[in-house]
Amino acid sequence: MAASMAPDLLFWLAWSNEGMNFDGYRIAAGVIQVGVACCALRLNRRYGTRRVGWFLFGGLLLLGLTQTTQNLLSSGNVQAVAFLMLLTPVLLFIGVTWLDLLLKESVEKESQIERAREELKHRFDQQAQDLQQANAALKTEIAQREAHERSLEQSEAQYRLLFTENPFPMWVYDSKTLEFLTVNHAAEKHYGYTMAEFRKMTAKEMRHTDDVGMFLEQMTKLPKGQLSRWACRHRRKDGRTIEVEESGGDLCYNGIAARLVLISDLSDHRRLEEQLRHAQKMEAIGQLAGGVAHDFNNLLTVIDGHASLLQSVTKDPERKHALEQVIGASRRAASLTRQLLAFSRRQVVQPATIHPNELAQNVSKMLARLIGEDIRLKTKLATDLPCIHADPGMMEQVLMNLVVNGRDAIHSKGPLKGDDQISITTELVTVTETQTWRNRETRAGEFVCFRVLDTGCGMPPEMLPRLFEPFFTTKDIGKGTGLGLATVYGIVKQHSGWLEVDSKVGFGSQFRVFLPPMEKASVEASPPPSAGPAAIGGTETILLVEDEDLVRGVAKDILKRGGYQVIEANCGAAALGVWKKRSHEIDLVLTDMVMPGGMTGRQLAVELRRTKPNLKVLFVSGYSPSRGGGDINRLEGMRFIPKPYQPHQILTAIREQIDAKDTFENSIFARRLATHASAALR
């Protein structure tokens, strides 16, 4: 409004009398400036800064015209002012029209820009939504892929566990070409081939030459999908043939029709079966030998007893000499039965504390003369060895038999060369669990080892399984009984040990004896009574319990010759019957350990001591004391002597038993009996 009023105001000022006053023009210019400023503020709110700029340009032009008019009036050029007054509305109209066109164009462009902005925003929102959906789908795909990877890892782990790391050999081969596709580590280790070598081979090349035809026939006849199992022979890379059992089934391997096979090596099973059969055979032979030796000992007791009794009363030198021959033969036969009992592990053991080095040194001194000067006997003894708990006589017999066996082996290979030798070595050996497979009797732990090595003729492998059988010998007829190594075997077994043998023809043999180191001795047999030339007798009453009539008869004769009163019983039950009637008369019980009727000698002694705790007992047997039902030496007032016994031995033992100081009150048996008695009273 100020802009439209400006020309009229200027025109009025130009023609009025007061128009010559310049202050009026200044007031008009100020009014125009205020009007322009107000319009600019209004336009700025509606049309923005750019349009305001155009308006301000028009306002400045108007101000410029006002200033020009002022200058013309001051110079007195009224016509120019009038012309300018007429031109000003035209210019203002043109400017306002042009400005309006500009404003309309600007508004239209702004509207287009706004529509473009809205469209762009819509597209942005749509793309953002698409990106969110794509992101969610990508997350789902990533989760699925991770789950698939975990499943694949688990599958690979199971594959490694079931196939690659399986301890049994396994392989996969093409069902048509029989070419190997893959094998596990156990197959590579067991057969000696690498994976690359396996893949150049076929399954039939693993078979023994004689089994290839049968294998191909089995493959053609085998129905698809059916599991198979058969025994066959395989060849290793080192050329050794092994017996195996194959278990197989069909599968698809990388798109190829294939067959998965698991192999079980039967060599160890065959060896264990052979060891078991051998052990059972040795046990059967041992039982037979022990039974024969026991019965033979009874007969030798009768022969030796009667011969000794006759010799003691015979004056004729010829008869005396004949009886000496009989006694000598019976005692040599007794030595033979002791070897049989040693093999059957029923020989009487008298254990003691032995240092291995002392045993080897003592035996080597005696054996040096036995093997002769043409064979050197060497000893190599380890230091700091633990002691063993064993029968010294039996251990000496073990080393002596092994050395004599080595001496005979050296002589068997021909003339001596001067470098032949036998060595005895002692050492402490630690046997691990992985080493127990080599021998069925081997067990893990620390053991004292006696090693006897000879440079003899050696033995072939087929002979080793029979080496410890009784009566088996490689010597000529009449040069060996075949009981030397069998005796060694029995003694070592009786002492909770085992034997190992290595031998090669032409290179000699090596025997290793493993014995457990000494622990706290739980059994100590009484030392055998010293044999004296004169028998000691008495007048006491003895209850004689023996199931063998001949043995009981000779024992009765020996006791009566010694002045003793004898009451007989042929079994435990009969002895109990006698005891009920005449227990007050009996001073000592002489009983066999093993008897028929279900009662052993030890059980009889315990039963009799219930009524007479200080009763003296003497056991006799052809077996070990433990065969009769436990350790008799732990019972006070009891003693054991083995069969066959000589008259002076049995009489001396009886006299020593009767005269022994009675320490029953301090014995374990007495305390146990008192406990049972007090419990019965309660």
Question: Is residue 523 pLDDT above 50, yes or no?
Answer: no
Query: Is residue 133 one of the residues assigned to a domain?
Result: no
Q: pLDDT value at position 596?
A: 79
Bigger pLDDT: 658 or 437? 658
Angle subtended at Cα 458 by Cα 454 and Cα 464, rounded to the nearest 5 degrees: 110
Please compute the mean of the pLDDT values over residues 286-292 and round it to a whole number: 65
- In terms of Cβ atoms closer than 10 Å to its own Cβ (0-12, 13-18, 19+), residue 555 is buried
Angle between helices 78-159 and 2-15 (to 10 degrees): 160
Looking from the CA of 216 toward its CB, the CA atoms found within 13 Å total 9
Cβ 293 vs Cβ 305: under 8 Å: no
Least confident of 188-197, 210-219, 288-297: 288-297
Could you tell me if 252 and 287 lie in one domain?
no
The distance of Cα 454 from the centroid of its chain, to the nearest Å, equals 36
| Backbone torsions φ then ψ of 640, nearest 5 degrees | -130, 140
Question: Is residue 241 pLDDT above 50, yes or no?
Answer: yes
Q: pLDDT value at position 194?
A: 92
Residue 2 pLDDT grade (very low, low, confident, very high; cuts 50, 70, 90): very low
CA–CA gap between residue 327 and residue 305 (Å, rounded): 9
CA–CA gap between residue 651 and residue 655 (Å, rounded): 6
Query: Is residue 332 one of the residues assigned to a domain?
Result: yes
Specify whether the backbone of 597 is left (phi greater than 0), alpha (psi in -120 to 50) or beta.
Answer: left
Q: Tokens for 157?
A: 């782990």
CA–CA gap between residue 640 and residue 622 (Å, rounded): 11
Cβ 654 vs Cβ 590: under 8 Å: yes
Question: Is residue 215 pLDDT above 50, yes or no?
Answer: yes
Looking from the CA of 91 toward its CB, the CA atoms found within 13 Å total 18
Residue 213 pLDDT grade (very low, low, confident, very high; cuts 50, 70, 90): confident
Cβ 388 vs Cβ 519: under 8 Å: no
Question: Is residue 200 pLDDT above 70, yes or no?
Answer: yes
Cβ 374 vs Cβ 411: under 8 Å: no
Residue 667 pLDDT grade (very low, low, confident, very high; cuts 50, 70, 90): very low
Bigger pLDDT: 12 or 652? 652
Residue 101 pLDDT grade (very low, low, confident, very high; cuts 50, 70, 90): confident
Between the alpha carbon of residue 555 and those of residues 223, 309, 568, the distances in Å are 79, 11, 10
Q: At 457, is the secondary structure helix, strand, or coil?
A: coil
Query: Is residue 156 one of the residues assigned to a domain?
Result: no
Could you tell me if 364 and 312 lie in one domain?
no
Q: pLDDT value at position 277?
A: 73
Q: pLDDT value at position 443?
A: 84
- Which residues, including other chains, have CB under 8 Å from residue 564's CB and lie 6 or more apart? 537, 538, 539, 540, 541, 542, 654
Cβ 181 vs Cβ 256: under 8 Å: yes
Query: Is residue 522 one of the residues assigned to a domain?
Result: no
Containing structural domain, residue 322: 272-343
Query: Is residue 78 one of the residues assigned to a domain?
Result: yes
Could you tell me if 411 and 479 lie in one domain?
yes
Q: For tokens 């890379």, what's the residue?
A: 237
| Backbone torsions φ then ψ of 621, nearest 5 degrees | -170, 155
Cβ 363 vs Cβ 355: under 8 Å: no
Q: For tokens 């009889």, what's the residue?
A: 604
Q: Tokens for 323?
A: 């009886």
Could you tell me if 641 and 496 lie in one domain?
no
Q: For tokens 């052809």, what's the residue?
A: 622
- Which residues, including other chains, have CB under 8 Å from residue 173's CB and lie 6 or more apart? 179, 180, 181, 202, 203, 258, 259, 261
Q: At 617, is the secondary structure helix, strand, or coil?
A: strand
Q: pLDDT value at position 496?
A: 84
Bigger pLDDT: 25 or 590? 590
Residue that terminates a domain, selected from 265, 294, 319: 265
| Backbone torsions φ then ψ of 676, nearest 5 degrees | -65, -40
Query: Is residue 579 one of the residues assigned to a domain?
Result: yes
Strands 541-545 and 588-592: parallel
CA–CA gap between residue 660 and residue 359 (Å, rounded): 33
Q: pLDDT value at position 548?
A: 85
Could you tell me if 564 and 655 lie in one domain?
yes
pLDDT, tens only, 612-645: 888 899 998 876 555 544 455 444 557 888 878 8
Bigger pLDDT: 302 or 342? 302
Q: For tokens 């230091």, what's the residue?
A: 383
Could you tell me if 287 and 372 lie in one domain?
no
CA–CA gap between residue 633 and residue 669 (Å, rounded): 11
Angle subtended at Cα 281 by Cα 278 and Cα 284, rounded to the nearest 5 degrees: 150
Question: Is residue 14 pLDDT above 70, yes or no?
Answer: no
Please compute the mean of the pLDDT values over residues 538-567 and round it to a whole number: 89
pLDDT, tens only, 426-451: 999 888 877 776 667 788 889 999 99
Residue 18 pLDDT grade (very low, low, confident, very high; cuts 50, 70, 90): very low
Question: Is residue 135 pLDDT above 70, yes or no?
Answer: yes
Q: pLDDT value at position 11?
A: 45
pLDDT, tens only, 479-514: 555 667 877 888 888 888 888 888 888 788 889 999
Q: pLDDT value at position 340?
A: 60
Could you tell me if 566 and 462 lie in one domain?
no
- What percent of the chain has a predicted confidence (pLDDT) above 70? 68
Name the strand (E) or helix (H) holding 77: none
Could you tell me if 457 and 602 lie in one domain?
no
Can you list the positions of beta strands (E) in 455-584?
498-504, 508-515, 541-545, 565-569
Bigger pLDDT: 231 or 479? 231
- What percent of the chain has a predicted confidence (pLDDT) above 90? 10
Peptide bond between residue 461 and the one before it cis (omega within 30 degrees of 0): no
Please compute the mean of the pLDDT values over residues 562-580 and round it to a whole number: 90
- In terms of Cβ atoms closer than 10 Å to its own Cβ (0-12, 13-18, 19+), residue 667 is middle
Between the alpha carbon of residue 29 and those of residues 19, 20, 88, 91, the distances in Å are 14, 15, 15, 18
Query: Is residue 91 one of the residues assigned to a domain?
Result: yes
Could you tell me if 277 and 251 lie in one domain?
no
Could you tell me if 615 and 668 lie in one domain?
yes
Q: Tokens for 449?
A: 């080892």
The distance in angstroms from the start CA to the end CA of the chain is: 141
Q: Tokens for 226?
A: 């059916």
Report which of 364, 340, 471 is spatially closest to residue 425, judged by C-alpha positions: 364
Question: Is residue 474 pLDDT above 90, yes or no?
Answer: no
CA–CA gap between residue 171 and residue 246 (Å, rounded): 11
Q: pLDDT value at position 449?
A: 93
Radius of gyration of the chain (CA): 61
Which range of 151-160, 306-315, 469-478, 628-637 scores highest in mean pLDDT? It is 306-315
The CATH number of whichever domain residue 387 belongs to comes to 3.30.565.10
Bigger pLDDT: 224 or 678? 224
Quote the number of domains for the chain.
5
Residue that terminates a domain, selected from 91, 110, 129: 110
pLDDT, tens only, 347-401: 556 677 889 998 888 888 777 766 777 788 888 888 888 999 887 878 888 888 8
Beta-ladder partners of 374: none
Report which of 625, 614, 633, 558 is spatially closest to residue 592, judged by C-alpha positions: 625
Please compute the mean of the pLDDT values over residues 210-222 and round it to a whole number: 83
Bigger pLDDT: 116 or 52? 116
Can you list the positions of beta strands (E) in 136-227?
170-174, 180-183
Q: pLDDT value at position 179?
A: 92
- In terms of Cβ atoms closer than 10 Å to its own Cβ (0-12, 13-18, 19+), residue 590 is buried
Could you tell me if 552 and 582 lie in one domain?
yes
Q: pLDDT value at position 193?
A: 93
Mean per-residue pLDDT over the chain, rounded: 75
Q: pLDDT value at position 323?
A: 78
The distance of Cα 232 from the centroid of its chain, to the nearest Å, equals 29
- In terms of Cβ atoms closer than 10 Å to its own Cβ (0-12, 13-18, 19+), residue 521 is exposed
Please compute the mean of the pLDDT values over residues 128-135 and round it to a whole number: 89
Q: pLDDT value at position 250?
A: 87
CA–CA gap between residue 154 and residue 159 (Å, rounded): 8
The CATH number of whichever domain residue 669 belongs to comes to 3.40.50.2300
Question: Is residue 457 pLDDT above 50, yes or no?
Answer: yes
CA–CA gap between residue 519 and residue 496 (Å, rounded): 12
Q: Tokens for 570?
A: 């042929």
Beta-ladder partners of 641: 620
Question: Is residue 674 pLDDT above 50, yes or no?
Answer: no
Q: At 383, is the secondary structure helix, strand, or coil?
A: coil
Cβ 490 vs Cβ 391: under 8 Å: no
pLDDT, tens only, 137-183: 888 888 888 888 888 777 766 766 678 888 889 999 998 899 999 99
Residue 410 pLDDT grade (very low, low, confident, very high; cuts 50, 70, 90): confident
Q: Tokens for 272?
A: 């264990």
Could you tell me if 338 and 357 lie in one domain?
no
CA–CA gap between residue 219 and residue 197 (Å, rounded): 23
Query: Is residue 224 one of the residues assigned to a domain?
Result: yes
Give me the count of residues in the chain.
Answer: 682
Question: Is residue 672 pLDDT above 50, yes or no?
Answer: no
- Which residues, including other chains, have CB under 8 Å from residue 287's CB and lie 6 or more apart? 344
Report which of 392, 400, 399, 397 is spatially closest to residue 341, judged by C-alpha positions: 397
